[in-house]
Amino acid sequence: MKEVIKIFSIIVIMIACIFIFSGCNITGIIKDEKNKESEINNYITNNINKVQDSINTDSTSQESNTDIFSMLESRYKEGESYIMSKDQIDLTNTDGKGKNYSFKYNNETYTAVYTKDNWHINNSYKIKNKKDITLICEALSDVHKVHGKDMKSYRTAEDMMEEWVIHNIAYDYLPEGINWKKNAKDVDLNPADQGKSLKEMYEEKVNKR
């Protein structure tokens, strides 16, 4: 019986995620553009709670501590790798003032902006491979380091990559037409978001509303 519950829980999660995060399914039923984002947010929150209750039905199973956010992170699909070293991206300071930069990746030119303790990478959602993201973060850190959350240490390329990937996941699954998805297409690597999980970022967004 426990195995049946485990399997059922996983199926519920997968179906719920497809439905919850499907842009066409959700946005298609919301006609009032002004209230669309808040309705989507409420819908997601309510269904996450329902699915989590289903998982917790069998408190002895390994899945009892699983949540949708962890599942999404574990199912992240990496893109193909295109670089072997950080030098291949040809990071260039385009304004000569240490603020605006460009780099090359997979035959595209990307832009990045540095302000104090913050790297903003435009269209970061297009870059999926974790190894490549880490190499790009290494190149950025070589030019301008970003402090960690304690404002004493500095962020590593690896933990910057983890934040980048979380933004990618959010972009991949959020419905079209809401600000969260628009914001997730770019990533800001700064002290405040160091070490945050997808769930923590989501809860922070909800609590601010």
Torsion (CA) 68, 208, 180, 27 in degrees, nearest 10: 80
User: Does pTM surpass 0.85?
Assistant: no
- Contact (CB, 8 A) for 170 and 181: yes
- When comparing pLDDT for 54 and 122, which is higher? 122
Give pLDDT, residue 24.
Answer: 35
Using pLDDT thresholds of 50, 70 and 90, give the confidence band for residue 49. Answer: low
Structure confidence by residue, pLDDT tens digits, 139-156: 999 999 999 999 999 999
Mean pLDDT estimate for the chain: 77
Beta carbons within 8 Å of 11's beta carbon, 6+ residues apart: none
* Of the candidate ranges 5-9, 31-35, 88-92, the one whose mean pLDDT is the lowest: 5-9
Where does the chain have alpha helices with state H?
A: 2-20, 23-27, 36-55, 68-74, 130-143, 157-173, 179-184, 198-208
